[in-house]
């Protein structure tokens, strides 16, 4: 809500010395509290601007039009300088701001829709992550002391006086993430975005007497807005008992059901784990504390022994059910840890407890193994050694590399594939020493030249886990798995098809399928609004027409909101630079591993000539290619095909632009739609390029109009005719082409 109220104004600033004219755009939510239109400026606002300019050693001239509550066009922008109509600074506009202006100015229907989208999904705001490059200079300009940590700058709460600034005690530290600008203040317990930080620092610094100011007034407290425990947690805890009350038999049964042999009863007690008996079902409640010792969630394991003597484990439930990221388990041991600068990050509550029980080292268990929330980074700043023990397979290795980068490679100790055979609990159960295993972890090497010995284990692991190396498998498109083998990080996929052939609809389900298996996805839907896209995806997610099942909307929305699916807050033509910035931001903050851009033509803007448009497209494709490789993130681009003759099938050369797109892509997917020329014509997906192993093929789809989903059609396999066509209409055919693919 606050961010939607953020409106921007432009002030003209004249430097005293050189009289050069500069535009300074400042955001300040305090100045504009009304939702869509600006309130006239008042005296204190002017005072604020004066202070800001004094601090920046600049002179401020406020246009009289500001008092009418209008925003002004930049005087540097000749084409706009004489107009009085509202304008926004493209690169500093948040989604909320832009929606407001779009609705009023251009008639785009974004603002209303964005709220609906937000209720079921997460929108990656354009915030001003690009300004984050200026974190350091901004803090210096504000005369804030500065120390560079592993992931954050350490400064001091702006409310504190000079003495505290000098002392820089840990309890007064303000952490500012050096990549995203996200902040956490130890003194106020508040956390928020870079914009909120900037806004508040300027505001607080403008006040001479700071005693009565509420620092970060409009910012919520970290991890929980109140001291109150969520009713869901209370409800579950009320009906539960401490492990001290548990009989020996029950303890043994629980150990058998969940295979927790080796974890001592005192360990459960130390972690304040509770249990509850529901008829023959045992529920174990793990409280999830915040780093500041506040209970934020409860994670419930349930299981039973059936009459046949089989163990049945039920799905793990976490309450409160919220789309906010769940913090890692294990902060409750922060104060009692025997190694204050050493921590292990692992994969489950049991593993975290075993590490702590056996070594005294604090261990955290990530709730989602594919996401490391940036909220925890400031709280990990004090640890000089972080050991990542996330798993023993290729997927865990990929996540380990990603998290190590995020946490700072210089302090992360990791297990390369095959360095450890077991996870901590299994290690204990196999009577191996946890400390000895932990000692095997190594820093990620930065050497430019590597020996074969160094790579050997990794290479072995790639051979040994061939299916995992092939990537995440689709659950709805098993045929796609046969051809593409899986969805891998770091690749570029191009999807093209005739206009209206269902590119967006197909890609929505394709990405949703992956996302439901933990592939964190970012959608850049420039062609259709996020609301329309989410509507399509929700139908596909629920596999039914929601208009006919409106009563189910809430439960479908709840499930959908749990998916790691994010949306770029852009619509229509957008600058490639901004899109790449949003993508980088999302990769860092939300650990995105799949970005979908629909479609490339919207990145090209309008001001290109026939001559340079191929050049422009080539540059854009190169930029996405580079992004995919550098960030180890899969990018899928939807591109319109060039005009083809009626009835002609698409091929790799039908992709709009020069040959660059097809060269850069790892995978090319074509939607062939012969229904456009004859009513009985078929529609199918053709894999026209597959760099991973060269297999190509076609997959016929049937469309379910109710749920907007595609079903693959399985029919008899037939052979390819000499003219290259297929003798059967519906089949999947693989043909190995070898590796001469470029």
Ligand X SMILES: Nc1ncnc2c1ncn2[C@@H]1O[C@H](COP(=O)(O)OP(=O)(O)OP(=O)(O)O)[C@@H](O)[C@H]1O
Half-sphere exposure of 115 (CA within 13 A, CB side): 9
Residue 599 Cβ, how far from ligand X at the closest point, in Å? Answer: 6
Q: Which is nearer to ligand X, 356 or 707 (CB)?
A: 707
Residue 710 Cβ, how far from ligand X at the closest point, in Å? Answer: 7
Tell me which residue of 130, 99, 120 sits closest to 571, measured CA to CA. Answer: 99
Residue 499 Cβ, how far from ligand X at the closest point, in Å? Answer: 4
Q: Which is nearer to ligand X, 155 or 504 (CB)?
A: 504
Residue 596 Cβ, how far from ligand X at the closest point, in Å? Answer: 12
Residue 520 Cβ, how far from ligand X at the closest point, in Å? Answer: 23
Query: Whose CB is nearest to ligand X?
Result: 502
Q: Which residues contact 228 (CB under 8 A, 6 or more apart)?
A: none
Q: Which is nearer to ligand X, 194 or 684 (CB)?
A: 684
Q: Which is nearer to ligand X, 409 or 527 (CB)?
A: 527
Torsion angle (degrees, nearest 10) of CA 723, 729, 730, 735:
-10
Q: Which class for 676: exposed (0-12), middle (13-18), buried (19 or more C-beta within 10 A)?
A: middle
Residue 601 Cβ, how far from ligand X at the closest point, in Å? Answer: 9
Number of separate helices (H) and strands (E) present in the chain: 23, 29
Distance CA 273, CA 144 (A): 42
Q: Which is nearer to ligand X, 711 or 736 (CB)?
A: 711
Q: Which is nearer to ligand X, 156 or 688 (CB)?
A: 688
The angle formed by the CA atoms of residues 398, 403 and 407, to the nearest 5 degrees, is 155
Residue 332 Cβ, how far from ligand X at the closest point, in Å? Answer: 49
**Which pair of structure tokens corresponds to residue 358?**
């056996």
Binding site for ligand X (CB under 6 A): 497, 499-505, 527, 683, 703, 708
Distance CA 433, CA 720 (A): 59
Residue 663 Cβ, how far from ligand X at the closest point, in Å? Answer: 24
Residue 504 Cβ, how far from ligand X at the closest point, in Å? Answer: 3
Q: Which is nearer to ligand X, 383 or 474 (CB)?
A: 474
Q: Which is nearer to ligand X, 424 or 502 (CB)?
A: 502
Q: Which is nearer to ligand X, 200 or 505 (CB)?
A: 505
The answer to whether 724 and 714 have CB atoms below 8 angstroms apart is no
Tell me which residue of 553, 540, 567 sits closest to 476, measured CA to CA. Answer: 540
The answer to whether 375 and 191 have CB atoms below 8 angstroms apart is yes
What ranges make up the beta strands (E) of 165-218?
Answer: 173-177, 183-185, 191-192
Residue 571 Cβ, how far from ligand X at the closest point, in Å? Answer: 14
**Which pair of structure tokens corresponds to residue 431?**
């009577």
Distance CA 613, CA 311 (A): 63
The answer to whether 702 and 694 have CB atoms below 8 angstroms apart is no
- DSSP 8-state symbol, 85: S
The answer to whether 11 and 61 have CB atoms below 8 angstroms apart is yes
DSSP string covering 56-81: TT-EEE--GGGGGT-----TT-TTTT
Name the 3-class secondary structure at 412: strand
Q: Which is nearer to ligand X, 288 or 536 (CB)?
A: 536
Name the 3-class secondary structure at 374: helix
């Amino acid at each position: 809500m606050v961010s939607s109220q953020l409106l921007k104004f432009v002030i003209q600033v004249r430097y005293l010395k050189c009289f050069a004219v500069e535009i300074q755009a400042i955001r300040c939510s305090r100045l504009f509290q009304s939702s869509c239109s600006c309130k006239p400026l008042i005296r204190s606002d002017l005072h604020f601007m004066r202070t800001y300019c004094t601090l920046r050693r600049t002179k401020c001239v406020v246009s009289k039009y500001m008092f009418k509550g209008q925003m002004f066009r930049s005087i540097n922008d000749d084409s706009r300088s004489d107009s009085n109509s509202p304008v926004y600074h493209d690169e500093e506009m948040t989604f909320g701001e832009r929606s407001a202006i779009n609705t009023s100015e251009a008639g785009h229907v974004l603002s209303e829709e964005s709220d609906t989208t937000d209720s079921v999904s997460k929108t990656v705001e354009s915030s001003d992550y690009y300004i984050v490059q200026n974190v350091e200079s901004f803090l210096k300009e504000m005369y804030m002391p500065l120390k560079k940590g592993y992931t954050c700058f350490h400064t001091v709460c702006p409310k504190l006086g000079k003495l505290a600034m000098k002392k820089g005690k840990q309890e007064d530290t303000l952490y500012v993430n050096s990549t995203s600008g996200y902040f956490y203040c130890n003194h106020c317990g508040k956390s928020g975005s870079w914009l909120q930080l900037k806004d508040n620092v300027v505001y607080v610094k403008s006040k001479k007497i700071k005693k009565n100011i509420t620092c970060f007034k409009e910012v919520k407290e970290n991890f929980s807005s109140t001291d109150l425990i969520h009713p869901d947690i209370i409800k579950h805890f009320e009906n539960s008992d401490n492990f001290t009350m548990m009989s020996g038999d029950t303890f043994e049964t629980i150990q058998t059901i969940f295979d927790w042999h080796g974890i001592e009863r005192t360990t459960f007690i130390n972690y304040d784990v509770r249990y509850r008996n529901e008829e023959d079902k045992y529920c174990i409640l793990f409280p999830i504390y915040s780093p500041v010792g506040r209970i934020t969630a409860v994670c419930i394991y349930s299981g039973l022994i059936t009459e046949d003597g089989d163990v049945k484990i039920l799905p793990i439930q976490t309450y409160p059910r919220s789309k906010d990221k769940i913090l890692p388990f294990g902060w409750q041991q922060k104060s009692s840890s025997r190694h204050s600068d050493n921590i292990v990050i692992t994969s489950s509550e049991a593993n975290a407890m075993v590490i702590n029980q056996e070594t005294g080292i604090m261990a955290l268990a990530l709730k989602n193994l594919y996401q490391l929330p940036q909220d925890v980074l400031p709280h990990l700043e004090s640890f000089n050694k972080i050991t990542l023990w996330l798993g023993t397979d290729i997927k865990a290795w990929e996540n380990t590399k990603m998290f190590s980068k995020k946490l700072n490679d210089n302090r992360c100790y990791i297990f390369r594939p095959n360095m450890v055979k077991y996870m901590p609990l299994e290690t204990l159960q196999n009577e191996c020493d946890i400390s000895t295993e932990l000692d095997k972890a190594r820093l990620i090497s930065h050497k430019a030249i590597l020996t074969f010995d160094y790579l050997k284990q990794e290479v072995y692991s790639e051979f040994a886990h061939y299916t995992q190396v092939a990537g995440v498998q689709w659950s709805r498109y098993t045929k796609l798995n046969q051809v593409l083998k899986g969805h891998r990080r770091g690749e570029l996929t191009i999807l093209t098809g005739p206009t209206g052939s269902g590119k967006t609809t197909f890609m929505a389900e394709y990405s949703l399928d992956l996302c439901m298996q933990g592939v964190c996805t970012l959608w850049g839907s420039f062609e259709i609004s996020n609301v329309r896209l989410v509507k399509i995806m929700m139908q596909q997610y629920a596999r039914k027409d929601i208009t006919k099942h409106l009563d189910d909307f809430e439960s479908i929305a709840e499930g959908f909101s749990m998916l790691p699916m994010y949306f770029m807050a852009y619509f229509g033509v957008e600058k490639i630079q901004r899109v790449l910035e949003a993508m980088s931001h999302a990769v860092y903050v939300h650990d995105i591993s799949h970005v979908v851009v629909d479609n490339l033509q919207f990145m090209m803007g309008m001001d290109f000539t026939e001559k340079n448009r191929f050049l422009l497209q080539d540059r854009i494709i190169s930029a996405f290619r580079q992004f995919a490789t550098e960030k180890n993130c899969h990018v899928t681009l939807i591109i319109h095909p060039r005009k083809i003759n009626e009835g002609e099938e698409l091929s790799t050369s039908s992709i709009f632009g020069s040959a660059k797109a097809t060269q850069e892509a790892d995978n090319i997917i074509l939607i062939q739609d012969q229904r456009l020329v004859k009513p009985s014509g078929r529609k199918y997906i053709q894999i026209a390029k597959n760099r991973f192993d060269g297999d190509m093929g076609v997959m016929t789809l049937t469309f379910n109009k109710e749920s907007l989903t595609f079903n693959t059609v399985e029919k008899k396999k037939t052979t390819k005719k000499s003219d290259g066509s297929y003798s059967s209409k519906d089949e999947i055919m693989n043909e190995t082409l070898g590796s001469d693919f470029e």
